[in-house]
Amino acid sequence: METGKIAIMGSGSWATAIAKVVVEHTGHIGWYMRRDDRIADFKRLGHNPAYLQCAEFDVDSIDFTSDINVAAEAYDTLIFVMPSPYLKDHLKKLTRGLDDKFVVTAIKGIVPGDDLVCSEYFHRVYGVPYDCQAVIGGPSHAEEVALRRLSYLTIGCTDELKAKALSEVLSCDYIRTKTSPDVLGIEYAAVLKNVYAIATGICNGLKYGDNFLAVLLSNAMQEMGRFLAKAYPLKRDLADSVYLGDLLVTGYSAFSRNRTFGTMIGKGYSVKNAQLEMRMIAEGYFGTKCMKEINRHLGVDMPMLDTVFAILYEGAFPKTAIARLAQKLG
């Protein structure tokens, strides 16, 4: 199984980091970016003008396009790396199907309004078979990958040959890879860890200490496990890096935009003002609402999700809401 020609779909920091890894392996990529001015600046400067400017590229090895149909037509594997709230707007421009493509998502978010993770959305709306999809997960801040710091990725795909083929493309001296069949579990875990990172940020802003944050993340792992066991029962080890590792790095790291967003709220910013000050999307804001809606039907005990939802969407006072949550933790 070969991945064929690969295109990166998106222009942010994680897209840039993945593009750097892929092009160093393949020698050529396609790259879909929405803005022509961004493409022109990239070609002139030799790096992304807006994100990860430390990552230099040979622009002759990249075919840029601002037309999503050009990329979808010319390339076999499409790696979607864009904020989940914008995914539908990009896909609406498609005039061809995707059912003959190997669709890979590295979005770590959920599609607002549809309350579906990306693989479910591609399957239900665009008819892409699950065995022709993969997800890239694991503790992987784009900034560290761009700096070539050792990182570990998990490639989720129900087709083991496809998973191994993509794994080989992403493997290098600073990227270790492994494969897993748990596509939906990896995606929903990635959504939930963003929610929990907002919670740790709020607690950080409220001046809770490391002892409490450790208890918080321990309970977050248990809550995640309850949800996955109910929603997508499958034999999985939640201690694997794609679950626990990603939760820890998102909850603790200064690179985490979700933790940063939560910290601002804990310090007294309104949700709207915190969003205005953030230069990048905090996926957990949208993920919180979607997961709350999904859990209305499942009825899983999720006090951390409920607390973050109350703060973000119901105007709950963070100090009071977290104090109530603390009484439920153990």
- pLDDT at position 255: 85
- pLDDT at position 276: 87
Q: Say if residue 315's pLDDT is above 90.
A: yes
- Fold topology of 185-326: N-(1-d-carboxylethyl)-l-norvaline Dehydrogenase; domain 2 (1.10.1040)
CATH number of 6-181: 3.40.50.720
Catalytic residue among 108, 193, 289, 292: 193
CA distances from 168 to 1, 107, 173 (A): 11, 20, 12
Buried b (16+ CB within 10 A) or exposed e, 218-229: ebbbebbeebbe
- pLDDT at position 9: 98
Domain positions in the chain: 6-181, 185-326
Q: What is the pLDDT of residues 232-262, one digit of tens each?
A: 999 999 999 999 999 999 999 988 999 999 9
Q: Which of 73-82, 190-199, 274-283, 321-330 has the lowest mean pLDDT?
A: 274-283
Percent of the chain with pLDDT over 70: 100
Q: Say if residue 279's pLDDT is above 80.
A: no
| Residue 88 is a catalytic residue | no
Is it true that 6-181 and 185-326 share their CATH fold?
A: no
Distance, CA of 299 to CA of 227 (rounded, Å): 9
Mean pLDDT over the full length of the chain: 95
Structure-block tokens of residue 324: 């109530």
Q: Say if residue 155's pLDDT is above 80.
A: yes
Distance, CA of 280 to CA of 263 (rounded, Å): 15
- pLDDT at position 2: 81
The dihedral of CA 19, 20, 21, 22: what is its sign? positive
- pLDDT at position 1: 62
- pLDDT at position 100: 94
Tally of CB atoms within 10 A around 280: 12
Q: How many helices (H) and strands (E) does the chain have?
A: 15, 10
- pLDDT at position 101: 96
Element (H, E) at 145: helix 142-146
